[in-house]
Structure 1
Amino acid sequence: MQIVQGEKDRTFFETLKEDCSTEIKKSKFLPKDLWETYSAFSNTNGGTIYLGIKENSPKNIILGVENPRKVIDDFIVTCRNPSKVNYDNSNEENITLINIDGKTILQIDIEEAPLSKKPVFCGGNIENSFIRKGSADLKMTNDELRATFRNAKPDMDSLSAPNTSLDDLDSPTINRYRKKFNQQYPNRFESLSDTDFLIRIGAIYLQKNNTYAIKRGTLLFLGKYQSIKKVYPHFHLDYFNRISGQNRWDDRIASDEFYDFEMNVYNFFNIVWEKFLNSFNSPFALDENLERSNPRAIEVSLREALVNCLAHADYEQSYPSIKIEIHNGVYIFENPGQLLIPINQFTQGGESRPRNEMLMSFFRNCGFSERQGFGGQQIFGTSLKWKFRTPKIETDLEKTRLSIWTVKFADSYPDLTEKEILIINYLTNYPNPKAKKEIQEATELSEYHTKQTLDSLCKKEIIKRVGKSVATKYTITRSNQELLTLTKEALNILAKQL
């Protein structure tokens, strides 16, 4: 437990507002409704509960808690009572006592629970499972509960698909896959029949009744569209090309349209990937020697994102469906289901937890995926090296959305003025904040235009101020993901120099 004293925190608490990770409670004791927030933070992204503050306008009122030690003991004891909450998410190191004018505020930091322990519920009733949305604690719907259980036990695509047989697999798709497989592993399995080949790679297996069990991932990857729909009623794949910027798309591929081939995951991947390759006609950035760098790194990055989108999707979820979009300078990948590892771990690499291991195995066997667990690192590292705008990844219980830009940071904002672009291009070249005078001298803008442009960019939250008064400096607004990537790249450069 930490004890913090000092007047300097008063303004922070007086202006504190509730949001997706902050809860304020005026109770001087341990309030009964705390456990709904405890459940919500545990089931979402974690958060902080403050006891002893009353929300008020224009300033919150600091009330403090009575007998803080007893409140802490009651909290810890209740966390360990399975009739109250099903998972003990307490840690005394995450509890802080803050003294303001003799009044004690209790700060309780709640960490996100491991996927295997979700849903965290209260009152001994799983229907009392909550998630955090905005500043509200909301009861989980039945769909959200089912999604939570699936997150706790991924790799469901390795189970057999019910009421299916070899007839539900598409022979032309299998042939195309085998050709690609043979390029990766020549002279391995060319002599095998399709059935023996699928057995050999673990896609199907022979049951005791001498019938073949088709794994769910195999059906998704190589199956006939209508057969897939029988097992996965919500199966839907969408691709949109919106490069022209018009309201209507320029090109679209949808799994529910009529084609002369079966629309399964493998065929969709190949079609979309071919369209990606065709979209690379526009020139990429030049390197520091004014030579065009090898664009393969960008291709690998986008291919990893496409593979991840298809292999990490929750195909049992009713909404949203898989959607791939190309806009002018940005590729967007959206799939149903939550990312099963922390975002920071995804960006740094080293850990892999695909939702559909069977699908990922199909992709890896053909060389469509790089080292396992390093796809995110490839995506973020490539953008950093090419000085593109840093990718953005968002994930919650419903979906995961990854945006990858193939243009410089300033070019990713189409409505910027020339002066704004000038300042952004200067700041993106320097990881450390810069003073207004430094920016003015580098850009050769007048003092008036420099101040006006900096204020405009701060208002748009593209850059931010660091420090106060004469010590004020400016820097690009960066996410935690981007800061971690920059730090790791700096360490790599330092290691090479040693």
Structure 2
Amino acid sequence: MSQNISQLSDIDLLKESAEVECKLASGRDGQGAVPDDMWQTYSAFANTSGGKIFLGVRERKGKLSLEGIKTPAKLVKNIWDSLNNPQKVSGNLLKESDVSIECIQGNQIICINVPRSSRHDRPVYINGNPLTGSYIRRYEADQKCSSEQVQRMLAERQDARDNKILQGFGVDDVDDESLRIYRQMFKDAKPQGHPFLEQDDLGFLRSIKAWRKDRQTGEEGLTLAGLLMFGTWDALQEALPNYFLDYQEKGEGEARWIDRVFCDGSWTGNIFDFYRKIYRKLTSDLKLSFTLKDGQRVDQNPAHEAIREALVNTLAHADYLSDSQILVEKYPDYIRFRNPGLMRVPVKDAIAGGESICRNPAIHQMFLNIGLSEKAGSGVPKIYSNCRLQNWQPPNLFERYDIEQTILELRMVNLIPEEITAKLVSLFGDKYQRLNEIKKLILQTAITENWFTHERICLLTSANGREVTLALSSLVSNGMLVGSGEHKSKVYHLADEVVPTPENESGQKIEFVASPKEGQLSLTLDLAPDITPDITPDIAKANEDLWKQLVGISEPIRKNSGRPSKADVRQTIVNLCMEANGKYMKVRHFSELLDIKPDTIRKNYLTPMVKEQILQLAYPTATRHPDQGYAIKE
């Protein structure tokens, strides 16, 4: 395996990651048996980000205990027999080194390292049926895939998604002006001339793979790439009913957008025109230093290149057949790019570079033709390296498996201004200067974010989970960091930083949205005329006014006759928290206001939004506390 397990604390450390599962595996006779539900975990890890399974370790209420397995060799043979039985598991992803027997304190346990499967093997399923036996990992649980999720995994086995010929679509569905501008940019990018430029429009479209002829069937026509790049709005709507591009610019502390560009029929709506409109808006307020190259002023810097590549990546890697949409959000200090579809390679491999499996290679090549993209496999590393050159925080690239989206955030904040470095040197002296890069990053995060989790550091660095775990453990051992809480609720902070808990003074000073009385919880707002004696009329009136505002904000979701979209619910949650103005809201408040079950609110919305740094917890070290509250991340 990739790590040395010599004591229970090694497994305990790894439990900070979501990709670890411990199972007792004692069997009915106590001699040991492979648990049936282990194969669900195998499928879930394989279809998500990979993970590690430990057999012979009991987990109860977050606590681990070492039980051991009396006959581990028998279980290992059973594991290999099942892996090579297509009626049990659809595919064996493991090498011999991925399954090992380890001895800890005289107890033998089995360690299984499950890698992330390639898209050609996905979905990995059990019991012979992909529709009923496919799972994904969501936080700490194995979740059965829906039929739609399985179909999308099967579709992802196709190498190119954008070379499909669209029946009934032709050159009349191409916007003339979009194509004219693209041809001019192609010419500008090829100062020595190019054979493609000598062709008519149809020949040019064919040469750049916007038009294709199937040699086997003789069918020819506009490709999906051609329509997306140059299509008219009417044609795009007809071919792709769920297609939508959205750009929103938001000011400091603003929940609503202050500038927006979206597919409203007033322009073509194709991705080439979207790029040209949005790139200018994303870079309009970037400060340029005066530089010369070959005697000419250069009006581009690493920041421009990072933003350009991020926008092109979003457009070239999106799953346009999904029911989700592309969204680009610009904030004062960061830009978020969101596209439907998961990464085709693991995030860490994309960051390392060299391997690229583009979902829409023809679209990517079209941008490359006019100098707006890097060659395959170097785009994401270019984004990271240019952010380093700008001294920005590392980009945040991650996947949302619950809604199958990829998100890239560019944090346009100077990571290590002089005052932060000076403070760290004053706290730790030469010890700080001798730290490696990941440990310095952790301490810089501690200065800028007050407290953070293991997962947060994983999002800020290309290091794997174990490297992060060891770095955190070392900093705690050396007294440079303090860890509070346990496992998934564990947070890290500097020694002089107090993390709120329900028991300490900092936690008791947290201000919650005051719980309305029973009459107020009725959304008709027929307030009881008598006020509880221990509440003054002024306080009651303040509660009533705030509650009325929250009721009004949530009304479109609550009274939606159909099923509101996740995006609308998430935005409403943000709006409610903004209206609460720094006060924390509880799950039952959201449930009552939105008319959504508490468990659904917590699992599908609040927990993911905390992980995405949109919301913050009142009590980060007690995530399941009954009085937990949520507010906008500061």
Normalising by structure 2, we get a TM-score of: 0.63
Counterpart of 1:272 in structure 2 is 278
Contact 1:42 / 1:112 at 8 angstroms: preserved in 2? yes
Contact 1:3 / 1:96 at 8 angstroms: preserved in 2? no
Task: State the secondary structure of the residue aligned to 1:239.
Answer: strand
Q: Which amino acid aligns with 2:281?
A: K
Does residue 46 (structure 1) correspond to residue 50 (structure 2)? The answer is yes
Distance 1:33 1:390 in 2: 38
Distance 2:355 2:313 in 1: 13
Counterpart of 2:105 in structure 1 is 101
Distance 2:72 2:253 in 1: 58
Counterpart of 2:254 in structure 1 is 246
Contact 1:162 / 1:231 at 8 angstroms: preserved in 2? no
Q: Deviations over 1:199-242 (max 9, x none)?
A: 23332145789974111100111111221222222111010111
Counterpart of 2:243 in structure 1 is 235
Question: How big is the shift at 1:55?
Answer: 1.8
1:203-214 paired onto structure 2 within 5 Å: 203-205=210-212, 212-214=220-222
Counterpart of 1:302 in structure 2 is 307
Q: Deviations over 1:249-270 (max 9, x none)?
A: 1100011x131x3111111111
Task: State the secondary structure of the residue aligned to 1:156.
Answer: coil
Distance 1:241 1:3 in 2: 44
Distance 1:425 1:362, change over 3 A: farther
Which residue of 87, 99, 103 maps to 1:83?
Answer: 87
Distance 1:101 1:377, change over 3 A: closer
Does residue 202 (structure 1) correspond to residue 220 (structure 2)? The answer is no
Contact 1:426 / 1:439 at 8 angstroms: preserved in 2? no
Contact 2:41 / 2:142 at 8 angstroms: preserved in 1? yes
Identity of aligned residues (%): 26
Distance 1:293 1:172 in 2: 28
Contact 1:325 / 1:332 at 8 angstroms: preserved in 2? yes
Contact 1:154 / 1:355 at 8 angstroms: preserved in 2? yes
Counterpart of 1:178 in structure 2 is 183
Contact 2:446 / 2:452 at 8 angstroms: preserved in 1? no
Counterpart of 1:153 in structure 2 is 158
Which residue of 351, 354, 365 maps to 2:355?
Answer: 351
The unaligned stretches of length 5 or more in structure 1 are: 287-291, 412-420, 442-450, 478-498
Contact 1:86 / 1:122 at 8 angstroms: preserved in 2? yes
Q: Which amino acid aligns with 1:21?
A: E
Distance 1:62 1:206, change over 3 A: closer
Question: How big is the shift at 1:323?
Answer: 0.6
Q: Which amino acid aligns with 2:109?
A: I
Does residue 164 (structure 1) correspond to residue 153 (structure 2)? The answer is no
Contact 1:41 / 1:131 at 8 angstroms: preserved in 2? yes
Question: How big is the shift at 1:191?
Answer: 4.7
Counterpart of 1:484 in structure 2 is none
Distance 1:5 1:390, change over 3 A: closer
Q: Which amino acid aligns with 2:23?
A: K
Task: State the secondary structure of the residue aligned to 2:356.
Answer: coil
Report the number of matched residues: 442
Q: Deviations over 1:358-383 (max 9, x none)?
A: 11111111111123321111111111
Question: How big is the shift at 1:196?
Answer: 2.3
Task: State the secondary structure of the residue aligned to 1:158.
Answer: coil
Contact 2:82 / 2:89 at 8 angstroms: preserved in 1? yes
Contact 1:384 / 1:390 at 8 angstroms: preserved in 2? yes
Counterpart of 2:410 in structure 1 is 404
Counterpart of 1:422 in structure 2 is 419
Q: Bigger relative contact order, structure 1 or 2, given CA contacts below 8 A and separation 6+?
A: 1
Q: Which amino acid aligns with 1:218?
A: G
Distance 1:80 1:454 in 2: 47
Contact 1:55 / 1:61 at 8 angstroms: preserved in 2? yes
1:295-374 paired onto structure 2 within 5 Å: 295-319=300-324, 321-374=325-378
Distance 2:89 2:208 in 1: 44
Contact 2:305 / 2:386 at 8 angstroms: preserved in 1? no
Q: Which amino acid aligns with 1:50?
A: F
Contact 2:208 / 2:362 at 8 angstroms: preserved in 1? no
Task: State the secondary structure of the residue aligned to 1:117.
Answer: coil
Contact 1:465 / 1:473 at 8 angstroms: preserved in 2? no
Which residue of 19, 25, 28 maps to 1:27?
Answer: 25
Distance 1:405 1:236 in 2: 25
Q: CA RMSD in A?
A: 3.5
Does residue 223 (structure 1) correspond to residue 231 (structure 2)? The answer is yes
Task: State the secondary structure of the residue aligned to 1:154.
Answer: coil
The unaligned stretches of length 5 or more in structure 2 are: 27-32, 292-296, 434-442, 458-470, 483-491, 494-634
Q: Which amino acid aligns with 2:49?
A: N
Distance 1:293 1:274, change over 3 A: closer
Q: Deviations over 1:341-374 (max 9, x none)?
A: 2222222222221110111111111111123321
Distance 1:338 1:285, change over 3 A: farther
Between 307-316 and 401-410, the greater mean CA deviation after superposition: 401-410
Distance 1:54 1:262, change over 3 A: same
Distance 1:4 1:191 in 2: 62
Contact 2:163 / 2:209 at 8 angstroms: preserved in 1? no
Counterpart of 1:10 in structure 2 is 8
1:435-474 paired onto structure 2 within 5 Å: 436-438=428-430, 459-460=451-452, 467=474, 471-473=478-480
Q: Which amino acid aligns with 1:204?
A: W
Distance 2:446 2:362 in 1: 50
Distance 2:476 2:379 in 1: 43
Distance 1:425 1:35, change over 3 A: farther
Contact 1:165 / 1:212 at 8 angstroms: preserved in 2? no
Does residue 55 (structure 1) correspond to residue 62 (structure 2)? The answer is no
Distance 1:234 1:295 in 2: 35
Q: Which amino acid aligns with 2:18?
A: C
Which residue of 119, 127, 134 maps to 1:123?
Answer: 127
Between 370-379 and 121-130, the greater mean CA deviation after superposition: 370-379
Between 234-243 and 205-214, the greater mean CA deviation after superposition: 205-214
Distance 1:469 1:310 in 2: 42
Task: State the secondary structure of the residue aligned to 2:246.
Answer: strand
Distance 1:438 1:170, change over 3 A: same
Distance 2:200 2:49 in 1: 48
Contact 1:313 / 1:335 at 8 angstroms: preserved in 2? yes
Contact 1:466 / 1:473 at 8 angstroms: preserved in 2? no
Distance 2:211 2:62 in 1: 65
Task: State the secondary structure of the residue aligned to 1:267.
Answer: helix
Distance 2:317 2:127 in 1: 33
Distance 1:352 1:440 in 2: 36
Q: Deviations over 1:69-106 (max 9, x none)?
A: 01001001110011111101232311232323322121
Distance 2:250 2:154 in 1: 36
Normalising by structure 1, we get a TM-score of: 0.80
Task: State the secondary structure of the residue aligned to 1:152.
Answer: coil
Distance 1:58 1:396, change over 3 A: closer
Q: Which amino acid aligns with 2:173?
A: D
Question: How big is the shift at 1:143?
Answer: 2.0
Q: Which amino acid aligns with 1:302?
A: I
